[in-house]
Structure 1
């Protein structure tokens, strides 16, 4: 059971790159539970930054596109240096993550006093990634678990809750898709307690076009091999 109160001690960090058609809705819906949101506009060529700001988010700008890992590091640094937020919630800009899942993950972190909560698409059957994508993601999980020593069921889900003490130890240098494994590795090295939580990732025509294709999953494996 999740609470209905606003989560004022948590900040959503949303990497943002050319998401003008959807970002206002994503921010507005998230602010019903998370009043504090920072979007890191990663060199967008559209009006994403303006739309996010008008919807109520703080916007930090990269002058050029640096990649999702760099955007996450910038957003996390903003929360740590500019706010007193206790929790960082990494959240995608394309509408595939569910606010209720993020809220439940923060509630879990508080209730069980854990520093990290990883969202997992594979702890229940709500998410429908398709057979080939599921296979590729499972291979990526196996590779990440082998390199990190953790035992996750989903290593490349962008929905995570990270307590301030854990977030302060992150130094992401992998700007592209390999950052997803890097963040797991660095969080694992903190030795702080963690959990997984079942989440529903909603794949739409829009999110697939923005990078949730099978090809993108293969690119994750390539990045893992050659990072």
Structure 2
């Protein structure tokens, strides 16, 4: 599988992740309009063998994922994709386990976090609420609907490019569309890692939450 990392204003943890991955899995990074301040980090990423694609302006996580998926489908036909966050939340071991599960099963595979006492209250409450709403709308229980660690078999890459959404809403839209169209979804337990209270996240509590919940509300109104 090809590792896909959508990034915006990355830290040194991106290079640490590339070092851990080594040369065993090709890596595609999509710089979603980070600007010149991050140029040295991306230069270092290229030095580690990663392919770096760039958006001139910030377009959103969904747009970055689609740019990377389209490139991978063209450059590595027949290879699946494992998408991960580049801020240290996902370990190399978990990325590989989720990728391997998708390769073996041919199913969409989510890295499902366990939200224990060490999880920041905002993150724990938000994830539990979203999971409950998702189950109410779809009739399917998915423990971690907001995980950024997701693997997809090669057969679904073109389909992923048709799913609407350019921001954080894209990941929710994908789950709903997968269930509607009969694409099975598996979950694999992964470690829950929050660094400095998840301060590196670019998820806007109000604006991005509204985007995530909008597809769920639309699904309710269509019933």
TM-score, normalised via structure 2 length: 0.84
1:117 counterpart = 2:109: yes
Report the Cα offset of residue 14 of structure 1. Answer: 0.3
Q: 1:160 deviation in Å?
A: 0.7
Of 201, 206, 209, the match for 1:221: 209
1:169 alignment counterpart: 159
Q: Show structure 2 runs of 5+ residues with no match.
A: 216-223
- Give the C-alpha shift of residue 188 in structure 1: 2.4
The answer to whether 1:29 aligns with 2:20 is yes
C-alpha distance in structure 2 between counterparts of 1:104 and 1:21, whole Å: 24
- d(CA) in 2 for partners of 1:20, 1:53: 15
Structure having the larger proportion of residues in helix: 2
Alignment of 1:6-155 (within 5 A): 10-31=1-22, 33-34=24-25, 36-45=26-35, 46-47=38-39, 48-111=41-104, 113-122=105-114, 128-155=118-145
Size of the alignment, in residue pairs? Answer: 211
Q: Could you list the runs of 5+ residues in structure 1 that have no partner in the other structure?
A: 1-9
Q: 1:47-105: per-residue Cα shift (whole Å, max 9, x none)?
A: 24222212210011111110111100111111111212421000111111011112112
Superposition TM-score, scaled by structure 1 size: 0.82
Shift of 1:149: 4.2
1:177–1:220 CA contact under 8 A, matched in 2? yes
Q: CA RMSD in A?
A: 2.3
